[in-house]
Amino acid sequence: MSDSELLELQMQGKDWRALDKALVTFFREQQQLPAALALLIGQCSFALSQGHLCLPLQRLPQQSEQDWLALMALYPDLFQLEQDNNQPFVYANNALYMRRYFSYQQQIALYLQQSSERSQQLRQTINPSVLNQLLDPLFPATAANAVDWQRLSCAIAASSSFSVITGGPGTGKTTTVVKLLLVLQQLQQQQGAAPLTIQLAAPTGKAAVRLRSSIRSTLDKQPASAEIKSQVPTDVSTLHKLLGARAQSRQFKQNEFEPLALDLLVVDEASMLDVELMAALLSALPAHARLILLGDKDQLASVEAGALMAQLCQWAEQGHYWPDTAAWLNQLSTVELPPQLISPQGKALEQQIGMLRVSHRFDPHSGIAKLANAVNGGQTAEVAAICQSVYADLQYLEATDFRQLKSFVLTGQGKSVLKDAAGFGFYLTGMAQGPALDASEQQVDQWAQQVLTDFSAFQLLCAVRQGPFGVEQVNLAVEKMLLQAGFIQHSTQQSSQWYAGRPVMVTQNDYALGLMNGDVGLCLSRPYQGKWILAVAFASEDNSKAVRWVLPSRLQQVETAFAITVHKSQGSEFRHAVLVLPDQFSPVLTRELIYTGITRAAKLFSLVCAKPDLLSLAIEQKVQRHGAVRL
């Protein structure tokens, strides 16, 4: 097939986005490009929609890489091969980039290089004996002859300009960072310096609310003075709010010309960070400020282009600490680092990464822990055996039609009786026990806050959007089940899509309302000025408010959220999480997706799988994204 025929096929087909096709049309009209280069531009744009930062030329079978280079050289205003004249496309690292994303990658790489140099200098100024005195009360020695990874990760971050603390669910990322902030403020006090100005942030509203709750509960338990504790913030902002997102713009109010007023920034759920947001964050970061990323390196990568956390922590499992780094850390530990984690070939960045390796949430012999570890290790046979075994916190359900699961959706109980299992009937029963018409505003808010908490007891997570086991059809099926059971009733006050008990997820940032993509709210019937009205309650980031209320008529970009995609669930935790796999294979079914779905469960996990073979196929497929920001 000729280049012209291939191009026509793509322009008429459904693979490329409208944006990809418009880009090709624009440059063909402007530059009179041959079909081969038009194809190249279209594929490069399409690669971004698949999460890649670039398009490796060796993946294009039409021509050799040298032939591509010769062809691009004929259009020097369009393609940067050597001299930089701000061309829209850049050839580098044997791949083609759109300039904007190449610039993001270069900006992040430069920051990592500079931060490594600053971190090495900073570590030389810290006296290990002084640091030990601050660490000891926060990390008391245990009888177990094992490395305290929380303590060592805290020491790594305390001596780094930029650091990453990674670990699976329940490994203590929040606990570690709270203790770290206490240590850093005490170091400031000892040096007679002013307390650090610290900001806490997360990519989404629900992740911010969850971090705030964890920070508060953890801080109260720490052995530190009230004065030092008061210097650790508990307010958490979304990154978009922190940076000052502008409506209808990719730009932020805070940037290199108007930097953030802080000395230290902690970003939770960093696996959700894409390279564009990371670059914007680094632009707004003051030159002297520290940056700490928290997250699980094995979770799904960001929805947008890049796989930042996975690339930064590529060798975290192996450590790759230099011998002098290991010697320094051994001064801060009662147990020496295992020799297999020490390597003279390690890179500078790896000296700034701490990995938490022990989960305190799950018993290592629990079903959830075993399943998550087996999935993460790609052990398909072990996964199949675990799914067929009996565990108190795990159940495996086969269903050829989602409607067969009605009783499970209402109660959370499947083929086995799980302790504390919850279905949607749990939060709807609590919702029905609502306040009186003359209840105070505080009573109404407290009731709504409790219903929101109860809603998080049970969540359906889908891998795909379309199909009988996709988000759209599952949501419709759940609504019908709840209607038939009498748990919900369509409202006569407004459009039938709105009813008391309807959970909704925001699908597009709404800066006027202060709601971000991924925020979840509940439509409730609440008293207001002597009558009942429908209003949507969202968890509030404001310390002074239990919830925030929004009228349904103001919510233009929302969808029902009995079932949400696994991607949208990142940053959330549910007492009982249910992963619903499709009945047909899809490219989105990956090891990272299965692992992320499992680790959303705090107490109970259920897997709904129509075809067991699909689970094995998914576990064998790992996310591979082209383009790297790692040094």
In Å, how far are 7, 50, 71, 121, 271 from 24, measured between CA atoms?
10, 18, 16, 48, 32
**Which of 303, 211, 236 lies closest to 596 in space, CA to CA?**
303
Euclidean distance between CA atoms 198 and 181, whole angstroms: 9
Give residue-wise pLDDT tens across range 18-57.
Answer: 999 999 999 988 888 888 999 999 999 999 988 899 999 8
Q: Is the pLDDT of residue 59 over 80?
A: no
Give residue-wise pLDDT tens across range 441-492.
Answer: 999 999 999 999 999 999 999 999 999 999 999 999 999 999 999 999 875 4
Q: Is the pLDDT of residue 630 over 80?
A: no
Exposed e or buried b for every residue in 381-402, given b needs 16+ CB within 10 A?
A: ebbbebbeeebebbbbbebeeb
Q: What is the maximal distance between C-alpha atoms in the chain?
A: 77
* Mean pLDDT in residue range 183-194: 94
Residue-averaged pLDDT of the chain:
89
Exposed e or buried b for every residue in 90-123, given b needs 16+ CB within 10 A?
A: bbeeebbbbebbbebbebbeebbeebbeebbeeb
Q: Tell me the range of 172-186, 302-316, 528-542 where mean pLDDT is highest.
A: 172-186
Which range has the worst mean pLDDT, 110-124, 206-220, 269-283, 575-589?
A: 206-220
Instruction: Look at 5 and 136; give whichever has higher pLDDT.
Output: 136
What are the φ and ψ backbone dihedral angles of 391, each rounded to 5 degrees? Answer: -130, 145
How confident is the model at residue 516, as a pLDDT?
A: 80
Amino acid (1-letter code) at residue 79:
F
Q: Per DSSP, what are the bridge partners of residue 505?
A: 520, 559
Write the CB contacts of 193 (distance below 8 Å, at least 6 apart in sequence): none
Put the strands of the sheet holding 89-92 in their side by side order: 54-56, 95-98, 89-92, 79-80
* pLDDT bracket for residue 572 (50, 70, 90): confident
* Mean pLDDT in residue range 200-213: 85
**Cβ count near 631 (within 10 Å):** 15
Give residue-wise pLDDT tens across range 494-549.
Answer: 446 899 999 999 988 887 888 888 889 999 999 988 899 999 999 876 656 778 99
pTM: 0.88
Q: Is the pLDDT of residue 245 over 90?
A: no
